[in-house]
Amino acid sequence: MSNPDYPTGPSQGAQNYDPNSYQQGQPGYGQSQPAYGQPQPGYQYGYAAQQPVNPEKNGFGLASLILAIVGLVFGIIPFTGFICLILGIVGLALGFAGLSRVRKNKATHKKTAISGIVVSVLAIALGIWGITIVFGAVDDLDSGLDCISNADTAAQMEACSE
C-alpha cells in the first residue's frame, strides 16, 4: 500500500526543486540568516576561541610541603634526625623552586610553596637538633664507659656516674 502524499521514488521528490530559487548568503525569500555553511556576521568558522585555562598547580610547592611534613615525623623519632635533615634540605630546595615558578607565572598556589619552605626550615632545625642530641648522648656514653673501665674501686665507679 502506498501513501499518495509522500514521494515513493527518488525522482518524484525532486520534481519541484529549483536550486536557483534561493540566493545563498542573501536574506530573502524564506531566509532570515546567512545560508548554511556561511559564517554569521562577527563569527568565524569552527569553534569559538577558548580562554586559556591556567589550572591551579604547584607541584614543587606541594612536594616541598609533603617532604617537610614527613621530615618532621622522622625528626621526632630517635636516631632518625639525619633523615629529617635530608628531607628538610630537599623540601627547602623544592619550595624555592615552586616559589620561583609562581613568580614566573608558570604555577599558582604561592601559599603552598611558602608553607613548604617554612616547614622545611623547621624540619632542618629539628634534624640538626636531633643529630646533636644523639651525638651528645653517644659522647656521654663513651666517656662514662671509659671512666668505668678505668675505675678500680667502687668509689671511683660511683664518681663516674656523677
Residue 126: its pLDDT value, please? Answer: 95
Per-residue confidence (pLDDT) for residue 128, from 0 to 100: 94
For 116-153, write each residue's pLDDT tens digit. 999 999 999 999 999 999 999 999 888 888 888 888 88
**What pTM did the predictor assign?**
0.61
Asked if 61 contacts 93 with a C-beta cutoff of 8 angstroms, the reply is no
Pick out the chain residues at pLDDT < 50. Answer: 25
pLDDT of residue 109: 86
Helix residue ranges per DSSP H, the chain? 10-13, 59-75, 81-103, 110-150, 154-160
